[in-house]
Amino acid sequence: MTRRPGFPVRLPGSAPLPAVRRVGSGAPPAAPAAPAGLGLDSQAVRSRMVHKLAAQGIADARVLAAMNAVERHRFVDTALGNQAYEDTSLPIGWAQTISKPSVVARMIELLLAGRTGADGRLGRVLEVGTGCGYQAAVLSHVASEVYSIERLRGLHERARENLRAFRLANVHLLFGDGMAGFAKGAPYAGIIAAAGGEAVPAAWTDQLADGGRIVAPMVMPHGQQALIVLEKSGGALRQSVLEGVHFVPLKSGIA
């Protein structure tokens, strides 16, 4: 893939909820600066990353296009910019990390699972653990609305700054404990967690639409994390346990 996909940035989706702070409001952003620390065309580096993702088995064209579109180097410290397109997790401050691209792509592919709405996108998605906002930006290309919640105020503010220049009208950043979900945005077609807990909170399954999916890291009885997929169908839940992963812990409360 060598061309940037022509995704519309502004979507005709449903009306925003009043209580939600919207990214991209306020003063118009300055033109994005040249990629810092990369020293070469970031689109070319990103395309190489996407080719590798495809070679590793990511098959959903919507996921590959979204990964190709979002400039990951803008979400990490300038000093780490030259590592932004390597398949590695990176520190984002506050003792948290941005997930590696292959894991972001894999989880979003699982979330979509071939499902599309009339506009070719998934409906409303809840992301638990905004972190630096990178995955929220990727999700904004494949979902009609993205509600992303973060429990650390500093990271919530950082994500808001990071995302401002992208002007993603369908990303709604929330500060709070994502273990309670975000009832005002429910029901969700998908819920994706970027932090691993011992169990899936009841709020998430309650706020999941019928036919919806939860993709999350979860601590297994042997103490290691694995990705799980929970599908809700006819009110019943079906859980699949997939590969092992390493995520930061899901914590309750705000800080």
Which parts of this chain interact with ligand SAH (CB under 6 A)?
92, 96-99, 128-129, 131-132, 134-135, 149-152, 155, 177-179, 194-195, 248, 250-252
Shortest approach of ligand SAH to residue 149 CB, angstroms? 5
Q: In angstroms, give the least distance from the CB of 131 to ligand SAH.
A: 2
Nearest-approach distance from CB 138 to ligand SAH, in angstroms: 8
Query: % helix / strand / coil in the chain, to the nearest 5?
Result: 30, 30, 45
Active-site positions read 99
Closest separation between CB of residue 103 and ligand SAH, Å? Answer: 10
DSSP string, 188-208: EEEEEESEEBSS--HHHHHHE
Assigned token pair, 145: 């609305």
Task: Between 112 and 250, name the residue whose CB sits nearer to ligand SAH.
Answer: 250
Q: How many Cα neighbours within 13 Å face the side chain of 21?
A: 15
Whether 208 contacts 232, CB under 8 Å: yes
3-state secondary structure of 85: coil
Pick the closer one to ligand SAH by CB: 97 or 207: 97
Q: Residue 123 or 129: which CB sits closer to ligand SAH?
A: 129
Within 8 A by CB and 6+ apart from 114, the residues are 60
Rounded Cα distance between 97 and 192, Å, is 16
Task: Name which of 111 and 132 has its Cβ closer to ligand SAH.
Answer: 132
